[in-house]
Each structure stands twice: as structure tokens, then as C-alpha cells.
Amino acid sequence: MAQKVYTPSHIFRFIPNIIGYVRVVTLIASLFTMQNHPKFTMWVLYSTSCLLDAFDGYAARKLDQSTTFGAVLDMVTDRCSTCSLIVFLTRLYPNWFILWQMLISLDLASHYLHMYASITSGSKSHKSMKKDTNVLLKLYYENRIVLFLVCALNELFYMALYLDYYNFRALPLIGISFPRFLIYVSAPVWFFKQVTNVIQLMQACTTLAQQDAQTYNLKNS
């Protein structure tokens, strides 16, 4: 029996990657509705894009369709998703524009450097951690439940900030709106995510510097 030969078109049609395309489409659609349709944007389009993030990884493992293209597509979509929403928050809360700029910069820099450091160090995945990796970073990447909850609540924090701008009615008993309640619930996990981003950034810089040091040592030996 002849062995199947895979081409790039086969890879593009893998189920996890198709899920990734749906994430991209729903994300782009949310950008067009974000200004005038907050409920539809967050509860249908943007939330669908975020929730599918859990299913593409599961499908990749279940169907044995893990690919480098899929991993990069997943991370790029995550970054575009988060940064696009933060950009819109600069319009809703302009007095905090420096914070939004810093959060976007930290998110992009930490994940790009981490991905690049993982590739150049020979790791099979950016989620594969070495033994000497920071404890918080290992917990974040190696425990799938923690990874899912942190990513979900981090996005929920930004989503809740977006919805809170539209002055939803206060809930009985607690006296605050549902979006404001979600802000309070997700804020500690959002803060944890920013801490892991800083750790990830520093660890990636150290990894790249160690590789450079080895290169120079070999060159001078």
C-alpha cells in the first residue's frame, strides 16, 4: 500500500486549521460590529472566536493533526484578537491610553520572543517547558486547565471592560452591572497573565542570550 504524501494543501485542510480559519472570520466580523452592537459582538462573534481556541488544540491532539502552521496560526490569532480589543478600549477609555499601549507591547513582545526562542532552541512546541523554567510559566503552559482558564479569564476581563462602558443595568442584590461583576471576578487572573507575560519575556531574552553566548564561545574556541 502506497504511503500517503502530504502537500501544503493537505495541511491547510486539517480540521484544527479549519477551526482556526473560523476563529479568524468571526474575529474580523467582530471588528465591524464592535462600535454599534456590543452585545452581539461579545456574546456571539468575539466569544466564539475565543472559545474555538480550546477546540483547535483538542482537535489537533485527538486527530493527530498538530502542525507548526496550526500552532503559529493559533498564536497569531490570539495576539490579533487581544490587541484588536485593547485598541478599541483606547477609544472607550482614552485617559488610560498609555496603559493600553503598554499592554499591547508586552503581549506582542513576550509572545514573539517566546515563540522565537522556542524555535531557535529546538523545542517541538512553544508550550514545551524546560526543567529550569520559572514555576509560574510551567504551571501556565503545562497544565491545560490552568492555560484554558487563564486565557479565558484574561479575555473576559477585556470583554467586560468593553461591555461595562455601555452602562448595563445593575443586578439585584449585588448592586452592580453584570459586566462590572465580571471585571471584579476576572481581574486577579488578568493580573496573573500580565505577570506571566513579563516572566515569559525575561525568560525568552535569557534563552536567546545563552544561545548567542554558546555561538560566540564556539567561534572563539
Structural domains in the chain, CATH included, are 8-220 (1.20.120)
- What is the rounded CA–CA span in Å between residue 157 and residue 165? 13
Q: What global pTM score does this model have?
A: 0.89
Residue 104: band (very low, low, confident or very high) from pLDDT cuts 50, 70, 90: very high
Helix intervals (H) in the chain? 8-12, 15-33, 38-40, 47-62, 68-92, 97-120, 135-142, 144-164, 178-220
Return the residue matching grid coordinates 524546560. Answer: 130
In this predicted structure, the answer to whether residue 58 has a pLDDT above a threshold of 90 is: no
Of the candidates 39, 86, 66, the one whose C-alpha atom is nearest the C-alpha of residue 193 is 86
- What is the rounded CA–CA span in Å between residue 156 and residue 165? 14
Higher pLDDT, 174 or 81: 81
Q: In the annotation, is 64 catalytic?
A: no
Q: What pLDDT does 168 receive?
A: 86
Q: For the segment 113-156, what is each residue's pLDDT rounded down to a tens digit? A: 998 888 888 776 666 667 777 788 888 888 888 988 999 999 99
* DSSP codes, 37-102: -HHHIIIIIIHHHHHHHHHHHHHHHHTT---HHHHHHHHHHHHHHHHHHHHHHHHH-GGGHHHHHH
Catalytic hit among 53, 56, 74, 78: 78
In sequence order, the 6+-apart residues with CB closer than 8 A to the CB of 211 are 117, 120, 121
In this predicted structure, the answer to whether residue 6 has a pLDDT above a threshold of 90 is: no
Q: For the segment 168-208, what is each residue's pLDDT rounded down to a tens digit? A: 888 888 889 999 999 999 999 999 999 999 999 999 999 99
Question: From the CB of residue 107, how many other CB atoms can be counted at a distance below 10 Å?
Answer: 20
Q: For the segment 10-39, what is each residue's pLDDT rounded down to a tens digit? A: 899 999 999 999 999 999 999 999 999 999
Residue 90: band (very low, low, confident or very high) from pLDDT cuts 50, 70, 90: very high
